[in-house]
């Protein structure tokens, strides 16, 4: 569990580090939190996750038998 304040702290840290489009999103298995609303923002975030190679680490896969395969953290 995380408070809104902790989410904000982590996102602010990523602004400084340049990670996650400089803090524009925060993701963990089965959840991606974006800072700004809108379809273009969502497209930017998904594109960043895919092109960075982090998609396998950040988003779960659903197997052929419909089991959820959570990535190792």
* pLDDT tens profile 15-31: 999 999 999 998 876 77
| CA gap 73, 62 in Å, rounded | 17
pLDDT of residue 18: 93
Cα-Cα-Cα-Cα torsion 9, 11, 15, 20, nearest 10 degrees, comes to 160
pTM of model > 0.75: no
pLDDT score of 73 more than 60? no
- Other beta carbons within 10 angstroms of residue 19's beta carbon come to 18
Residues in CB range of 43: below 8 A, 6 or more apart? none
pLDDT tier for residue 44 given thresholds of 50, 70 and 90: very high
DSSP 3-state of 55: helix
pLDDT score of 14 more than 80? yes
């Amino acid at each position: 569990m995380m408070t809104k304040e902790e989410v904000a702290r982590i996102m602010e840290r990523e602004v400084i580090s340049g990670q996650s489009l400089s803090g524009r999103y925060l993701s963990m298995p089965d959840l991606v939190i974006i800072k700004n609303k809108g379809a273009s923002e969502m497209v930017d975030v998904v594109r960043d996750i895919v092109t960075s190679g982090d998609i396998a680490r950040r988003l779960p896969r659903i197997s052929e038998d419909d089991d959820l395969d959570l990535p190792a953290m």
